[in-house]
Amino acid sequence: MNIQAASLPARDLAERVEEILDDLRDEYTQPHEAPWIIGFSGGKDSTLLAQLVFEMLLALPPRARIRPVHVVANDTLVESPIIAQHLETVLARIERSVAALRIPVTVAKTVPELQQTFWVNLIGRGYPSPSRMFRWCTDRMKIAPTSKYVREQVDSAGKVVMLLGVRSAESAQRAVSVFRYRNAGERLSPHNSLNGCFIYKPIVDLDTDEVWQILLQSSPPWGGSHRDLVTIYRNAAGGECPLVTDKDEAPSCGTKSSRFGCWTCTVVEKDRSAEAFVDAGHENLEPLLEMRDWLKALREDNSKRSARRRDGSLNFVGEGRLIPGPFTLQARREILDRLLATQEEVGFELISPDEIEAIQSLWMADALNLERTR
């Protein structure tokens, strides 16, 4: 990842930043009360977006800062520990700064419901580790929790504007998505599945070098610096998995490009971002990388999978080829044992006591059901 921004005409970039700020100001001061929701992943794009929104707010007189702004992050509970710590630090700084800056900002973090966490689904229900063909994780762990938050704000205010730090230059897939959401040149586009939510993409036309140049030449209004962010990108050799609220955005997870996100991600063939972190000196993460690779291999071992799906059906494709179902109870116990051993090795929590309790309840129900069908 090249984070040394190319030498760009300072005046031209400054003018473009001012245009973005003007656009933000114009939308913020529109005669309606719809709150803003900033999708915040802690990566470079969402960080720049949040910074520009803060700068716009601070340039307004206090009496004009009336529209609520929510900075919303998503924690899948299996985030890369380095990214999770960075996100926690930045969110805490933002939250501490709000009162002193006199801006109407609320910080929130969404998490999956207990019955929908990664480990409850994989170890409790036996879902095979996610793949391109069966990527069950994104909807349950990312889309559903954040969509719930958005719906709550819509129910309260009648309408919300969601600001996303996505850029058309980021990838061909993203460019297609951005073009689809541009509604005949209008600034706001209706969300594909969340009624009352409108999408706003203020930095869509910036390229990567421009994003880094702006960040490297400025300090965040909430305090601190962007040095930790720069270090993360340099060490990870990748990009962030952004906050998503729509399945059409789901390809941001598990793409072939190197992205940092869930340490358990088995959608990618190799977790090059985690490997880069280890190579950069974070040897304490190596047990997580080893477990991730083991989970991926376990998924391909049919002896660890039940023949029948959880609803009791058999799944055939092609000329009678059986697609195996969930992990067997024995395999699930094996996964939990290894996870707990890995947790002890790394020295921080990978699975909560509540998740273990939910898993054991699911095991008991599955064992009883197995007895009844014999």
Q: Note down the domain range covering 322.
A: 303-373
195 lies in the same domain as 236:
yes
Please indicate, yes or no, if residue 285 is contained in any of the structural domains: no
Give the DSSP H or E segment for 110: strand 105-110
pTM, rounded to two decimals: 0.87
DSSP 76: -
- Cβ atoms within 10 Å of 294's Cβ, excluding its own: 15
Number of domains in the chain: 2
Confidence of residue 24 (pLDDT cuts 50, 70, 90): very high
Residue 282 lies in a domain: no
81-101 and 227-236 helices cross at what angle (nearest 10)?
160
The contacts of residue 85 (CB under 8 Å, 6+ apart) are none
**What is the predicted pLDDT for the residue at 180?**
47
For the chain, how big is the Rg over CA atoms in Å?
22
- Burial (CB count within 10 angstroms: exposed 0-12, middle 13-18, buried 19+), residue 139: middle
83-123 pLDDT, tens per residue? 999 999 999 999 999 999 999 999 999 999 999 999 999 99
For residues 60 and 188, membership in a common domain is answered with yes
Residues 175-208: pLDDT tens digits?
Answer: 444 444 444 457 999 999 999 999 999 999 999 9
> What is the β-pairing status of strands 160-163 and 36-39?
parallel
Largest CA distance in the chain: 76
Whether 98 and 185 map to the same domain: the answer is yes
Q: pLDDT tens for residues 270-293? A: 888 888 888 888 899 999 999 999
**90 and 232 co-located in one domain:** yes
Q: Is 199 found in the same domain as 159? A: yes
Same domain flag for 91 and 160:
yes
The helix (run of H) or strand (run of E) holding residue 330 is helix 329-346
Count of alpha carbons within 13 Å of 205, Cβ hemisphere only? 9
Same domain, yes or no, for 207 and 345?
Answer: no
Same domain, 241 and 116: yes
Tens-digit pLDDT profile for residues 302-355: 999 987 777 667 777 666 677 788 999 999 999 999 999 999 999 999 999 999
Same domain flag for 273 and 329:
no
In a domain, 66, yes or no: yes
Given the structure tokens 């899948």, which residue do they identify?
76
Helix 272-279 vs helix 286-299: crossing angle, to nearest 10:
150
